[in-house]
Amino acid sequence: MSLIQLLPDHIANQIAAGEVIQRPASVVKELMENAIDAGATKIDVNIKESGKALIQVVDNGSGMNSEDALLCFERHATSKVRTADDLFSLVTKGFRGEALASIAAISHVEMRTRLEAESTGIQINIEGSKVVSNVEEACPQGTSFEIKNLFYNVPARRNFLKSNQVEYRHIQDEFERVALAHSEVHFTLHHNDSEIYNLTPGILRKRVVDVLGRKTNDRLVPIEESSEIVDLKGFVLKPEFAKKTRGEQFLFVNNRFFKSQYFNHAINKAFQGLLQERTFASYFVFLNVDSQKIDVNVHPTKTEIKFEEEKFIYSILLSSIRLALGKYNIAPTLDFDRETSFDLPAGMRSQPYNEPVIKVNHNFNPFTPTQSAPSAGSRGKKSENFSEAITKHGFGTEDAKTADWENFYSVEDSPKEEEQAPLIEEETSHGISQFLIKGNYIFTPSKSGFMVIHARRAYEQILYSALIKSFITNPIESQALLFPIEKELSKNEITAWESNAKMLKQLGFIGEIKEDELHLTAVPSVLQDETIQKALDRIIETIAHREIEKGEIAHELVHSIARSAAMKKMNLNSIEAVNDIIERLFQCENHTYTPGNKQIIDTLSLESIDEKFR
Ligand code: ADP
Ligand code: MG
What is the number of the ligand closest to the CA of 143?
A: 1
**Pocket probe mutation, ligand 1, options 29, 33, 34, 103, max atoms within 8 Å of Cβ:** 34
pLDDT of residue 420: 31
Q: Per-residue DSSP letters for 413-472?
A: -PPPHHHHGGGGGGGGGSS---EEETTTEEEEEETTEEEEEEHHHHHHHHHHHHHHHHHH
User: In this structure, which residue's CA is closest to atom 16 in ligand 1?
Assistant: 79
CB-defined site of ligand 1, < 6 Å: 30, 34-35, 38, 59, 61-64, 72, 77-80, 94-101, 143
Cα(34) to centroid of ligand 1, in Å?
5
CATH code, 9-197 = 3.30.565.10
Closest ligand by atom to 33 CA: 2
* Residue 575 pLDDT: 77
The rounded Å distance from CA 247 to ligand 2 centre is: 26
Closest among 56, 44, 45, 165 to 107, alpha carbons compared: 56
Tell me which DSSP letter residue 573 carries. Answer: -
Q: Give pLDDT, residue 88.
A: 61
Residue nearest to atom 17 of ligand 1 (CA): 72
Nearest residue to 290 via CA among 319, 313, 268? 313
What is the per-residue pLDDT for 425? 32
Q: Which residue out of 81, 100, 296 has the highest number of ligand 1 atoms within 8 Å of its CB and is therefore the one to mutate?
A: 100
The CATH number of 205-327, from 3.40.50.300, 3.40.50.2030, 3.30.230.10, 3.30.499.10, is: 3.30.230.10
Contact residues for 39 (Cβ-Cβ < 8 A; gap 6+)? 61, 62
9-197 and 419-614 have identical folds: no
Q: How many whole angstroms separate alpha carbon 169 and alpha carbon 557? A: 19
pLDDT number for residue 204: 94
Domain 419-614, classified CATH 3.30.1370.100, yes or no: yes
Low pLDDT (below 50) residues in the chain: 330-431
Question: Which residues in 247-265 are b (16+ Cβ under 10 Å) and which e?
Answer: bbbbbbbbbbbbebeebbe
Residue bearing the CA closest to ligand 1, atom 21: 34
The domains of the chain are located at: 9-197, 205-327, 357-413, 419-614
Alpha helices in 21-56 (DSSP H): 24-37
Residue 38, CA atoms < 13 Å, CB-side half-sphere: 29
- CA of 78, nearest ligand number: 1
Tens of pLDDT, residues 105-114: 999 999 999 9
Q: Which atom of ligand 1 is nearest to the CA of 33?
A: 2
Calculate how far, in angstroms, residue 60's C-alpha sits from the geometric centre of ligand 1: 14
Q: What is the pTM of this model?
A: 0.59
pLDDT given for residue 357 in this prediction: 33
Which residue puts its alpha carbon closest to atom 7 of ligand 1? 99
Interval between CA 82 and ligand 2 midpoint (Å) = 15
Instruction: Say what the pLDDT of residue 342 is.
Output: 25
Return the residue whose CA atom lies nearest to atom 8 of ligand 1: 97
